[in-house]
Chains A and B, each alone.
Chain A
Amino acid sequence: MTSRQKERLTSFLLLLPSIILIGVFVYGFIGWTVYVSMSKWRGMVPDYTFVGLRNYATLFSLHRFRVGVKNNIIFTALFIPSSILLGFFLAFLLDQKVKFEGFFRNVFLFPMALSFVITGTIWAWIFNPQAGLNVLLKKMGLEFLQSGWITDPRVALYSVVIAATWQMSGFTMAMYLAGIRGIPLELREAARVDGATEWQLYQKVIIPLLHPITVSAVVVLGHISLKIFDLIFVMTGGGPAMATDVPGVYMFMATFRQDLFNRGAAIGTIMLLMVAVVIVPYLIYSMRTEVER
């Protein structure tokens, strides 16, 4: 055995445990879930009779599931841009050589250190119509801004988006700040020497250079958003009137409250597909850029 072969063997053996564990506990169970989603399993006795795609057909005929998918799409479409814009704006401000930058950076990043359960509980208090924000608005004489934040089905979804954005914009800020700091100063200087205004500098030089970061942020936020469960479960439980219901919440309810294991598995599979739509192009993209390098 040459030393090179030996090296390969060692690295393979070192990787083997994690390959086996991931193979069984991730891919094995994905396969298992897909299998259950095409079975008749309801109730406490597993029934693996194969029924093809029938569970999926039923699922798409259900009011609750259709509303959930629609809500999740709206949620994602609002949550990703708002987190990215706010995060970029904060990074832009911090980049202006402010005093105590380290302090502010931590302040903005800190929400990310909390779990969604805590964020959800706190924002549910803030949005309680009898307490929190509404009282504050009244004291400030801004009664017309009062709203049934999480009690009014027309605005509840937006309130949840606000809470999620509050949590995740610090993360995009950190990513963008790192990205901005990674851009060589010479490039900025060169642009300035060429007579670019600050606005043009950002528009023509910095933002295009941050493109890979934006892609990563969209992917990270996108998979959080499409799998969202904890924040909504704690904040609104999917209500009022299903206004904030998402497939993640319904998956939990169908599996553990209703004992409809086949339906829960079908919802899980569809969520996986939804996330795959976001992740797979990213993987292809990042593999390509890696090859180019």
Chain B
Amino acid sequence: MSRRVLLCALMLILVASTVSFAQNQLIIFSWWTAGGEEDGLFALYDVYQAQHPDVEIVNATVAGGAGTNAKAVLKTRMLGNDPPDSFQVHGGSELIDTWVKTGYMEPITDLWKEEGWFDAFPQDLIDMISYEGEVYAVPANIHRSNALYYNVKLFEKYDIEVPTNLDEFFAVAEVFKENGIPALAIGSRNLWEVSHLFESVIAAVAGPEFYNELFQGKHPWTEPRVVECLKILGRVFDYINADHPTVTWDQACGYVLQGQAAMTIMGDWAKGYFTANDAEPNVDFGSVPSPGTEGIFIVVTDTFGLPKGAPNRDNAINWLRTLGSVEGQNGFNPKKGSIPARIDVPTDPYDVIALSTMEDFGKDVLIPSVAHGSAVIDAFASALNDEMGLYIVERDAEKSAERLEMQAQDLGLR
């Protein structure tokens, strides 16, 4: 009998302890677990902790590239009515369509006014995180999707210029092909890398306006300009590495670094890969906007918002305050290898490449990235990935366009 009493007491203590410790915490959900990104996140925590020393931060991370695993976990948490205090989400469609329109988020427009952020962030970016006049998130960082990385020594060896448009790209690619070097390294292991390349091609061939309209569902996928973009993408495939299905984006960067391929088109987080491997900017590797996209900035942005029913709402609001502050932006971004989303911060913690990206960010046309969840709902981005996986093998532009149109209609985009 006494044993049973003891057991009951133990269970009560267990239950009580889980309840009583759920005090004054801040639960931050993200997929930042690797190298620089984790350092950046911890730097942000330090800033927050300095202002709010009595709050215990719970670092709820789920590892996995591009947040694919984390997003699945987040969805089950939210559906199960167990939201974190704040979570990482790509600005644009992923935020608005997945979480805001479905009523999971609280607007934070008042916080934006209070902090004077409407003057600190660019308008194109604010539009990406707003819905029906209310703002729903704070952008932590900016990455550029349309960047071309190249091996400086290879270009010197064959005495050729880095291509600035698609015609030059194909001319250069031909030279490398004749010398037995794949001009463009790409990894299609996770398929989003191909969509990533495709968004740069669409922006270059059809322009930013058409790009936006296409992903807003204003044009059918079967229309000639889309088919044209697909055909040009198909021509690019003539110059890629043969083992692309087993390669990931960072291995593709490795091919460029080791001179096994001349160029790769990847977001500017690739810079982190190069510098982490002791490569020197403009000596070992260089970076320019991807061919034909000068003046266009395809934005990838991580944001944090305020879910309804956040267990520690006040702490969460303070977290957003920290995130949007100059101190927070400059604590996080130099370590993450991204640029700040604010355009009014001191520039001294940033390197040469980041500075030129910041300059472009201030003056270019900003359009949302497709491959990184900002331009279009996840469901379609995922279907696009599948289709790219088929297209890279089948190379039938008309057929792919038809299937994409079917998907767009089925998913209610058009």
Contact = CB atoms under 8 A, between A and B. Distances in A.
B374 to A, nearest CB: 16
A260 interface: yes
B103 interface: yes
A258 B378 contact: yes
Contacts of B68: 257
A257 B79 contact: no
Interface stretch (B41-49, B153-161, B388-396): B388-396
Interface residues of A, number: 27
B71 interface: yes
A45 B392 contact: no
Contact of A260 (B243, B379, B386): B379
Interface string A221-239: 0000000000000001101
Max chain A Cβ within 10 angstroms of own Cβ: one of B190, B191, B382, B394: B382
Interface in B72-118: 72, 75, 78-79, 97-99, 102-104
A239 B245 CA distance: 8
B191 A258 contact: no
Interface string A99-131: 000000000000000000000000010001110
A150 interface: yes
Contacts of A49: none
A181 interface: no
Contacts of A260: 379
Interface of B: 68, 71-72, 75, 78-79, 97-99, 102-104, 188-191, 242-246, 378-379, 382-383, 386, 389-390, 392-394, 403, 410
Interface of A: 42-45, 58, 63-64, 124, 128-130, 148, 150-151, 153, 236-237, 239-242, 253, 256-260
25 contacts: A43-B102, A44-B78, A44-B102, A44-B104, A63-B403, A124-B246, A128-B243, A128-B246, A129-B242, A130-B246, A148-B242, A150-B246, A151-B242, A239-B189, A239-B389, A240-B392, A241-B389, A241-B394, A242-B386, A242-B389, A257-B71, A257-B379, A258-B379, A259-B75, A260-B379
Question: What are the 8 A-B residue pairs with the smallest beta carbon separation, nearest first?
Answer: A241-B393, A258-B379, A256-B72, A240-B245, A151-B245, A44-B102, A45-B102, A257-B382
